[in-house]
A and B are shown apart, each in its own frame.
Chain A
Amino acid sequence: MKEKTIKTIKGISIAVLVMIAIVTCLETYFWSERWQNVEWNEEIIGWQRRIIVSHIATTYLLVAVMVTFIINIFRGLKKGVIFSRCNTIVIYAGAVIYALNSFYAYTAMNAATGRYVHSIDTDMCIYPLLIIILGLLHKLAVEASEENNLTI
């Protein structure tokens, strides 16, 4: 691989990591603000806590998945293997966690205002589907690159 391409990939990956760091800081800041304004309802307080905590947890999980993906790219750059099988699994995991995160994000809005309502939005299906498409393309790239390595 060309030196210039490696540098560009590293640059873009670092930019993505910075974006992720900013998003994580914003998430932490916003939830520390929101937590004080949550309208706790004594009858459903357990459910409210569970939904809000699940939302925060899935957001951090999603961040962890993205960071793992970038770290795997860096590892691959060192070894010379960019399309690794483990990154395909990481992408699929990202799709599942994203779907859960969307569900908890919309429901947490209701929980924060003391309403016992589970929200489902079309965003919950369409983005995970797009991520799965990326995962399938990645899988094809893995198979193609493995086959290329076998070619003499």
Chain B
Amino acid sequence: MEANSSRPLRWLKGLTVAVSIYCCIYIVLLTVRAMFYIGWINIGPEPVKWIEGHEGLQCTVLSIWWFTGIAFNVLMLTFTINSTKKLKAGTLFPASNVGILFGCAGAHLLYKIATQNMPILFDARRSITLDLGYDELLITTFICIFAIVYKIAGMIAEENSLTI
């Protein structure tokens, strides 16, 4: 088994590193962008135009956008690291990853809703919209299907005591 599986294992490790680097860069960029919006850094995108009476809504949109963006990337990071860690212990499809994937789908949906509502920060609109667009819903559905498929694979592997 060792000789056969060494190649996919090497690839898995490589991909885990790639996904981890991507997630870390994304988290840093998202935080820097949030700092631009708040006005802590004065070069780059224009800061939020605070409107009297709407600060609460603007603050909520900005916080949800930042928090869900971070949550989505942290969850993806956890998924990849968890997969490789459990693989070393011999488990192919750990059950804990299914919850993480559903969490990813939820965070992705909320992040996209918040992104869609970013014009509120610049006084281009003053109310929340849930109009997501078909493609975003499609991506969320795909992540859910991915989680379900992962769950099926986990069930079969567990039933057959399949470990490497």
Give me the interface of A with B, judged by CB distance under 8 Å. Answer: 1-2, 5, 8-9, 12-13, 15-16, 19-20, 23, 26-27, 30, 59, 62, 66, 69, 73, 82-83, 98, 105-106, 109, 122-123, 125-127, 129-134, 136-141, 143-145, 147-148
Contacts and interface: CB of A to CB of B under 8 A. Distances in A.
Contact of A23 (B4, B141, B151, B157): B141
Contacts of A139: 8
B102 interface: no
A12 B12 contact: no
Contacts of B144: 19
Contact of B93 (A1, A9, A129, A137): A137
Interface string B149-164: 1111101110110111
A127 B139 contact: yes
A140 B8 contact: yes
Contacts of A15: 148
23 contacts: A5-B159, A8-B155, A9-B152, A26-B137, A27-B134, A62-B142, A66-B145, A73-B152, A83-B153, A126-B76, A133-B12, A133-B15, A133-B80, A134-B150, A136-B11, A136-B15, A137-B87, A137-B93, A137-B153, A141-B157, A141-B162, A143-B8, A144-B164
Given A136-B11, A144-B163, A130 B19 contact: yes
Given A141-B157, A141-B162, A129 B15 contact: yes
Given A122-B26, A141-B157, 6 more contacts: A1-B156, A59-B138, A69-B149, A83-B156, A105-B138, A130-B80
Contacts of A12: 148, 151-152
- Interface residues of A: mostly helix, strand, loop or mixed? helix
Contacts, number: 115
Contacts of B155: 5, 8-9
A65 to B, nearest CB: 11
Closest 5 CB pairs of A and B: A30-B134, A136-B8, A82-B156, A105-B135, A144-B164
Given A9-B156, A20-B145, A148-B162, A143 B93 contact: no
Contacts of A73: 152
Interface string B50-77: 0000000000000000000000000010
Given A122-B26, A132-B15, A136-B12, A143 B5 contact: yes
Interface in B105-164: 134-135, 137-139, 141-146, 148-153, 155-157, 159-160, 162-164
A62 B151 CA distance: 20
Contacts of A141: 92-93, 153, 157, 162
B137 to A, nearest CB: 8
A133 B83 contact: yes
B35 interface: no
